Chains A and B, each alone.
Chain A
Amino acid sequence: MAGKEQKFTLPKWNRIVYNADYFMKHLKRKILEMAVKAGEGHIPSAFSVLDILWVLYDRVLDTRPHTKGNDHFILSKGHSSMGLYIVLAEKGFIQKDILETLGKFESILGGHPDRTKMSDIEASTGSLGHGLPMAVGLALGMRIKKEIGRVYTIIGDGECNEGTIWESALLASHHRLNNLYCIVDYNHSGDRALSLGDLRAKFESFGWDSVSIDGHNHDEIYKILTKKSDVKPMAIIANTVKGKGLKVMENNHEWHHKTPKYEELMAFMEELK
């Protein structure tokens, strides 16, 4: 009887009981270490999406290392790759010692994720505006093949300047892809050049269900990412802070693609204790 029950319960492999605040700080320290060792990486962008990535891999996605699950995930804003790598390592998808090789000549971990390097990365991204169209294709393909499961993608608000975002937003609602969840990491990067304003209203006017959440609140993230929609694709406007957790980095564009020096690193580590 017990065996039977287990069969019908989603495996809770490798679940970590954690204090969210403490644990995110721990992951951020790891990201800083990775970036300093590599002398490379977009730290504030990784911090911005880290909570969402963690909730996705810890509680939402039906996917396990090297096993094809029912769900798909594309990190469309590929420059947040360090956030993805640290979560994949924490969840056992990649060995932790590989993190140190980020950006090195023969590493499987590039500045942007590369699907040809490991099967657990679904899409090679880097150029903005490519992930959402591919996610639409995956969602449409699941519909054609009558597969269950969902497709999640994370795009940035700056990325929403790309025409392909709105082209595929139209496609997704027209084809009623209610298995598609597009998370907008709304960290206001786009405000420097071309602000998108009310993204929630924009997605709604493109025929999506759209909600606005605190992109650093794990329970809010979990609740919306597991909410079922009847016919519409779901846009989640996740209000985030770029560089979240480090005062000098928060919303400071100077840090977009910069590696901390030794003294800075020490101060950051202290701040993240």
Chain B
Amino acid sequence: MRKQFVKTIEEILSKDNRLVVLLGDIGIFGFNNSFKNYPSRVYNIGILEQSTIGVAAGLSMNGLVPVVHTIAPFIVERGFEQIKDDFGYQKLGGNFVSVGASYDYAALGCTHHCPADVGVLKNIPGVEIIVPGTASEFDRLFKSSYADGKPTYFRLSEKSNTQSYDVEFGKAFIIKKGSKATVIAVGPMLDMVKEACKDLDVTILYYTTLAPFDEGTLANAISGKTIFVCEPFYEGTLSFDVSKALSKMSIMPRMVYIGVPREFIHYYGKSEDIDKHLKLRTEDIRERIVNNI
């Protein structure tokens, strides 16, 4: 996804002279060509995330389209108030593209983890949140929303699904229809969910846009008495959206959230080691679905 991000940006830089890229001193080698070709629109801005977001807002006020890029916690958690005041409150457009996801930098410790990003940003009205499942889905979703005049967050991750879908901004994608339960897979969780449910009679909905949340598709496609929400971030992050989407149902289905537990992870290793520790592998997901269906 990171390579695709560079490619997508290079392509848009050549077509849209409003695009300005601010890199927080990470991923800069990938952008060597862009630095050379567009020196006035691509900056290694330095390690000052709060001001970078303010600067991006100033660019946006002047009709430019900023893209801010660094590791998730440094954009979302450190720069939260800047995104809230400078973009949300002021109704300005801009893009925040993060890497690291929940614990891609497993060995670097919790300072570099960000399982809270989507939950945190959901507290800023008007912010769009996109979690692509593959590189080509990122390309598609970025191009359709980067200049829509809204603040938009893109969560890139090391994990990627094997198959891409023709996902659309703001829309959930129906992977399969079944009758015993409904399973929501968010972004890079889809491969595991498909494998875990391959012989199960369940509906699978694939979400890549999390804000605005596609309530209609969920309300119409719901099947069975249980909803499993498989989230690559803190478990229960989507609970408000899911319950709001189903608020017109006479009997609420049971909701089971499968995601990152709300605890600090004091282990290192690779992200797969942490998946195993947190029970977020395909077999763990299958077990929880089968036992709760």
Contact = CB atoms under 8 A, between A and B. Distances in A.
Do A and B pair up? The answer is yes
Contacts of B50: 129, 133, 163-164, 167
Interface stretch (B83-91, B104-112, B179-187): B83-91
Nearest to B57: A134
A253 B61 CA distance: 35
A164 B64 contact: no
B20 A144 contact: yes
Interface string B86-99: 10011100000000
Nearest to B54: A133
Nearest to A122: B61
Q: Which of B50, B55, B66 is the most central at the interface, judged by chain A CB atoms within 10 Å of its CB?
A: B55
B82 interface: yes
B283 to A, nearest CB: 46
B56 interface: yes
| Chain B contact surface mostly | helix
B48 A137 contact: no
A137 B56 contact: yes
Interface string B14-52: 000000100000000000000000001100011010111
B58 interface: yes
Contacts of B46: 170-171, 174
Contacts of A167: 48, 50-51
Contacts of A72: 61
Nearest to B41: A144
A168 B85 contact: no
Interface in B59-90: 59-64, 66, 81-82, 85-86, 89-90
A143 B40 contact: yes
Q: How large is the interface on B (under 10, 10 to 19, 20 to 34, 35 or more residues)?
A: 20 to 34
A137 B58 contact: yes
A168 B54 contact: yes
Interface string A243-270: 0000000000000000000000000000
Contacts of A143: 40
A230 B51 CA distance: 24
A124 B59 CA distance: 15
B54 A136 contact: yes
A8 to B, nearest CB: 26
A141 interface: yes
A135 interface: yes
Q: Which of B50, B53, B56, B60 is the most central at the interface, judged by chain A CB atoms within 10 Å of its CB?
A: B50
Given A115-B90, A116-B90, A144-B40, A134 B55 contact: yes
Interface in B131-181: none
B89 A124 contact: yes
Interface string A125-154: 011011011111111111111010000000
Contact of A133 (B41, B55, B91): B55
A141 B91 contact: no
B62 A137 contact: yes
Contacts of A136: 51, 54-55, 58
B51 A141 contact: no
Contacts of A114: 89
B58 A135 contact: yes
A137 B85 contact: no
A114 B89 CA distance: 9
Contact of B58 (A124, A140, A163): A140
Contacts of A86: none
A164 B54 contact: yes
Given A127-B81, A167-B50, A168-B51, A137 B59 contact: yes
13 contacts: A133-B53, A133-B86, A137-B55, A137-B61, A138-B61, A141-B59, A142-B62, A144-B41, A144-B64, A145-B64, A167-B48, A168-B51, A171-B51
Interface of A: 72, 114-116, 122-124, 126-127, 129-130, 132-145, 147, 163-164, 167-168, 170-171, 174
Enumerate the 5 nearest inter-chain pairs by beta-carbon distance, A residue then B residue, closest first.
A137-B58, A133-B54, A141-B62, A167-B51, A137-B55
Given A133-B52, A134-B54, A137-B59, 13 more contacts: A116-B90, A123-B61, A124-B90, A126-B85, A130-B82, A135-B58, A141-B59, A141-B61, A141-B63, A163-B50, A164-B54, A170-B46, A170-B48
